Amino acid sequence: MRHASLAVLLALTACAHAEQNPTAPPAQAAAPAKAEPVAAAVDPASQPVVEFVSAAATRRGGTVTDTRYSEKPDDAAITAREFAAGVVTWTGQVGFGKGSQYAGVGFNVSILPDGQTVSATSFKSVTFRLASPNNAVLRLRVSGSNEKVRNSGCYPVYVQATSKDLTEYTIPLSKFAPESWCAAQGVAIGATLPELFGFEVADTNVKKAPTTFSVGSITLNP
């Protein structure tokens, strides 16, 4: 009997110890890391800096806005804006016989949204994909961060003849220069590239006839 009583006592003691040392609770899953804002990544060497997704926007979130001006009121007009297969097409007329010595129609496009800029000092040339059924000679502009200078038209430009077929035109950035009438207000290409905002494409020939031109992607090249 004593042996039986001892066995029962040992069993009860073992149960008591087991209850006092319950299995440890499972480890809780770690809380997900807080998402940090990521700066817009721009690697112009690997892909175009401007790819159109509509007549108003680009793949990187840049925006497209009209360029339209004339010396005399209402002497230039944009009549259509179209988009197809990554290409935007602007149609309008430069000059309606009202006596303007200068006028233009086209668009400005930013590389990134919200006025952000790109440092482009390591790039040597820029490739525009252009076409025009009326062989328009287009003014291409490289625009920097200063909105006042952009509005005055004094960032550097280059003039490019086009053909009816969409063609790549690669232009050394060193060939872009501010227009002579800007004088001291003009900004050289070297001062524009550290804070590159975007580009402008426009027909500035006062022909008093309809004009159409198309623009595909724009790429910076090392």
Q: How far apart are CA 194 and CA 204, in angstroms?
A: 27
Q: What is the pLDDT of residues 124-178, one digit of tens each?
A: 999 999 999 999 999 999 999 999 999 999 999 999 999 999 999 999 999 999 9
Q: Would you list the domain boundaries of the chain?
A: 64-221
Cut 0.95: pTM above it: no
pLDDT number for residue 48: 82
Phi-psi region of 57 (alpha: psi -120 to 50; beta: other; left: phi over 0): beta
> Which class would CATH give 64-221?
mainly beta
Instruction: Give me the mean pLDDT over the 38-63 stretch.
Output: 77
Residue 29 Cα distances to 23, 26, 32, angstroms? 18, 9, 9
